Amino acid sequence: MSNLQGSLHSEVNPLSWTKESNLGGFTMTKFSFEVKLKAVQMYLAGIGSSTIARRLGIKGKKSVQIWVARYRKYGVQGLEIRSPKFDYDGNFKLKVLNWRKQHKASYPQTALQFDISNPGTIANWQRKLNERGIEALFTRRGRANHMTTNHNQQARKQLSELERLKAENRALKVENEYLKKLEALVQRRGQSKKNIKSSKN
């Protein structure tokens, strides 16, 4: 294992699929492609990762080491920013987590092995597995939003139907009141005619 790869192996190794006390707390701030490439170029020019991090305003040298490792394995493409909509299926997630467990690898090492740009993504999968089981890995991104959208559409549909019924009810009330008034008017006119006839007789 190279010094660079060894520096990535820094987290507590998992003991089982379902119990892991420390996910490493791994977070990785997003940087532009240009910053990543600049950091790699500086490293290859012989500048230390700590110095690079300080000069480029990067918190800690680990990010620099990860970018260099990705560049060496995948080239410039390894530094490209992935679309936030990019998703992985459950089988792939299980494969990644299983590989990490078997090789006692860190999140950065595992991310490098499977070309996953952010090691925090794997940490998130492990957290879901620990907390909610394997089924949580097969919940596709956007499904909840899709369900929420359907629910909102259904709610709007029901509301529209309710408003329509209320409008019809108001119309019926108006019509009923009109008929009552019309009936009362007819009765009054009828009574007036009877009174006129009675007076003539």
Q: How do residues 69-110 score in pLDDT, each as one tens digit?
A: 989 988 988 888 766 556 788 899 999 999 999 999 999 899
Find out whether 78 and 71 touch, Cβ atoms under 8 Å: yes
Segment 29-55 mean pLDDT? 90
What pLDDT score was predicted for residue 43? 93
> What angle, rounded to 10 degrees, do the helices at 33-44 and 49-56 form?
140
* 81 phi and psi angles, rounded to 5 deg: -80, 125
Alpha helices in the chain, H assignment, sequence order: 3-8, 33-44, 49-56, 62-74, 90-103, 107-113, 119-132, 143-200
Higher pLDDT, 166 or 138: 138
pTM: 0.51
Domain locations in the chain? Answer: 3-143
The closest alpha carbon to 120, from 111, 129, 133, belongs to 111
Going by pLDDT thresholds of 50, 70 and 90, the confidence category of residue 178 is: low
Going by pLDDT thresholds of 50, 70 and 90, the confidence category of residue 115 is: confident
Beta strands in the chain (DSSP E): none
Higher pLDDT, 184 or 5: 184
The 10s digit of each residue's pLDDT in 119-149 is 888 999 999 999 989 888 887 655 444 444 4
Segment 33-38 mean pLDDT? 90
pLDDT, mean over the chain: 74
What pLDDT score was predicted for residue 117? 81
Higher pLDDT, 85 or 170: 170
Segment 13-30 mean pLDDT? 43
